[in-house]
Structure 1
Amino acid sequence: MTDGSNRNIMASINCVTYNHGAFIRQALDSFLMQKTDFEYEILVHDDASTDKTSDIIREYAAKYPDKIRPLIQTENQYSQGIDNISGAFNFPRARGKYIFMCDGDDYFDSPDKLQKQVDYMESHPDCNLCIHSARIQLMGKAVAERQMRPYRKTAVLTPEEIIDKASGYAMSSMAFPARLVTDLPDYYTDCPVGDTPLQLMAAANGYGYYMDEPMSVYRVGVVGSWTAEGKKGNYAGKQQAYYERMKVVYEEFDKATGGRFKAAAMSASNRTYFQTKVNTRDFKEILNPAFRRYYKELSPLTRFFIQFEYRTPGLYNLLRRSFTGSR
């Protein structure tokens, strides 16, 4: 490593954070522990946190001024209608040849992550997306863990596999060439989430590579997260609105790519619709034969509970209340 004066940055770590005071130190430490033979930078965008997140970022930036480049907002940008903070604020200031993604409540779990992914992309210049498996931490009364493993072995991924997939990719696993985001299409800026359009952009311009090695951690159930906030209020309405926006994204992607991936894009859109129906327990649509393919993609345990709730809702709710302590 150089002392940071060298501006030939190979990798930019893109970290977006909001009220992650309980987690941001672990994220920043995981970035700083990376062992590389190249220079990298850490771009941290704080969206006007109301807890101690911004203070912690300033502390780290003062200690590592040649590594950490903070952007701390005084007004929350997400509330102003900017969904994809990365594209608006971090991608334009990235100096690295490659960009690595990780939200402030997640973290890297291997000191060799950057080196391994950069090495692959350097030797395979047509690869537009490099991902890996991740550990999932389920936050709650007790922290539980499982794996986010979209594929069973290391593999090259076709564009269609990236677009139309049964299992998502951990944001903290994603790395791609910075050239991918020099000109953001409408389907990026119109998308309510930041990872899906990046994957679509990668698929439109090349192929992907999956490493079957858990090198990051994805936290689920963090208070204040996009997922947690979405479950408040009119959840069914929010899910419907989410699907409608994602449907537009896939239609815009199909138009932008001249119909080259129409079948994959339409299938991905239909899967999103099906998943919102699973989330809201719309049994008529969940068990609709038209969505049989997506139903079979659910885990056996998920299918068991769906059938249990559908066939014996009274017993299901009684047992759920007894286990959760709810009334």
Structure 2
Amino acid sequence: MKVSVVVLTYNHEKYLEKAIQSILNQDVDFEYEVLIGNDKSPDNTELILQKYSQNPRVKIYNREINLGATKNLLDLLKRSSGEYIAFLEGDDYWTDNNKLKKQVQVLDKNKDYSLCMSESYTVDENNSVIGEKKIEVSEINGVKELYFYRSGIPTGTILFRNIFFKTDEKLESLITASNIIGDLSLFSYLITKGKFYNLKEKMGAYRFITNSGTSYSAMNTYKQDLELEKVVKKVLEVVDEEKVFLELYLNRIRVKLLKNSKSYLKTLNRNERIELIKYIFFMPYYNLKYSNIKKEMRKNEKDR
């Protein structure tokens, strides 16, 4: 099996068929499978999936209980038999029928890349284009660059080397550190295995929904930062690279959380509170340090 396409869905009845069809429309000369995890959606998602139950490429997992996004994701990743894994949420879709073919060629020819991405349109509930999601550089190299560019990576366009053939409890705990954010956890591990390559062409559509739901884009900023804190905290435990930078990044998140809610401080243990107070006391120094890192990233961007 060359590629496993992992699809997460929850309450995506309006969009799911478009997502699945964009996968099945791929023009490829290799074998691929589609693994769909329906996280006990209360809408008609399960009924829609029945239409694909006889397709030999498609494997459907209707959850008996709601697992949450990252546990649903982890189960599908562990079931994936492909050399490479692609990811798509049930409300997003691909716009290029040659997406998989192009990305497989990149990873086949470049063993020093662990992941290949592309640019993406941003669309609303009615498929109208309202923007784009992309990064300006052609590759990401290392943890610092990943965290600098992370918000611009269109997760629905990625293809990465399958690192889930063997059980890795640390990796699994990282993927499920947050109930909502799985992509940054995965990226933080993959970047230690190789660079990320960016195909600078639009191959997907990311649906940005803010009015309701449990998606990350539908959350308020405070809740988003709480989930992000969980991820970065776990990355510090699992990943052995750029510890100083990651601690700096974590404390910047915690300052934002503290500004939004004074009671947040009570959620930290004694050592975490001490570190945060030290960070706040020396904040001008740390802000300058972070600013210099950003300048370095921008310089690298221009050099490329």
Q: TM-score range by the shorter chain?
A: 0.7 to 0.9
Matched, 1:213 2:201: yes
2:15 pairs with one of 1, 6, 23: 23
CA distance in 1, matches of 2:33, 2:3: 6
CA distance in 2, matches of 1:84, 1:165: 26
CA shift at 1:241, angstroms? Answer: 3.1
CA distance in 1, matches of 2:120, 2:258: 26
CA distance in 2, matches of 1:127, 1:166: 17
Matched, 1:67 2:57: yes
**Counterpart position of 2:302:** none
Equivalenced residue count is 266
Assess, with a 3 A threshold, how the Cα gap between structure 1 residues 53 and 275 changes in structure 2: closer, same or farther: farther
Q: 1:256-313, CA deviations, whole angstroms, 9 ceiling, x for partnerless residues?
A: x2xx3224433443554577689x699xx9xx7554757x98xxxxxxxxxxxxxxxx
CA distance in 2, matches of 1:114, 1:178: 15
The amino acid that maps onto 1:176 is F
Assess, with a 3 A threshold, how the Cα gap between structure 1 residues 19 and 28 changes in structure 2: closer, same or farther: same
1:250 pairs with one of 235, 260, 263: 235
* Secondary structure class of the residue paired with 2:163: helix
* Secondary structure class of the residue paired with 1:122: helix
TM-score (norm 2): 0.77
CA shift at 1:123, angstroms? Answer: 1.0
Q: 1:79-108, CA deviations, whole angstroms, 9 ceiling, x for partnerless residues?
A: xxx743211x21122121100011101111
Q: 1:137-190, CA deviations, whole angstroms, 9 ceiling, x for partnerless residues?
A: 1448x945211112x24x232123553214421110111111356334232232
CA contact (8 A) 2:78 2:164 kept: no
CA shift at 1:131, angstroms? Answer: 1.1
1:146 pairs with one of 94, 110, 131: 131
The amino acid that maps onto 1:86 is L
CA contact (8 A) 1:126 1:206 kept: yes
CA shift at 1:72, angstroms? Answer: 0.8
CA shift at 1:75, angstroms? Answer: 1.9
CA shift at 1:247, angstroms? Answer: 3.7
CA distance in 2, matches of 1:245, 1:195: 13
**Counterpart position of 1:57:** 49
**Counterpart position of 1:132:** 118
Assess, with a 3 A threshold, how the Cα gap between structure 1 residues 70 and 195 changes in structure 2: closer, same or farther: same
CA contact (8 A) 1:18 1:104 kept: yes
Assess, with a 3 A threshold, how the Cα gap between structure 1 residues 40 and 276 changes in structure 2: closer, same or farther: farther
**Counterpart position of 1:305:** none
CA contact (8 A) 1:165 1:268 kept: no
The amino acid that maps onto 1:103 is E
Matched, 1:196 2:184: yes
**Counterpart position of 1:300:** none
CA distance in 2, matches of 1:189, 1:281: 25
Task: Write the mapping of 1:276-287 to structure 2, written as runs, cut at 5 A.
Answer: none
Task: Write the mapping of 1:311-326 to structure 2, written as runs, cut at 5 A.
Answer: none
**Counterpart position of 2:84:** 98
CA distance in 2, matches of 1:229, 1:56: 24
Aligned-residue RMSD, C-alpha: 3.0
* Secondary structure class of the residue paired with 1:132: strand
CA contact (8 A) 2:95 2:205 kept: yes
Matched, 1:121 2:121: no
Between 103-112 and 191-200, report the one with greater CA deviation.
Answer: 191-200
CA contact (8 A) 1:18 1:49 kept: yes
- Report sequence identity in percent: 22
**Counterpart position of 1:39:** 31
CA shift at 1:46, angstroms? Answer: 0.2
CA distance in 1, matches of 2:261, 2:59: 44
TM-score (norm 1): 0.72
- Structure 1 residues without counterparts, runs of 5 or longer: 1-8, 298-327
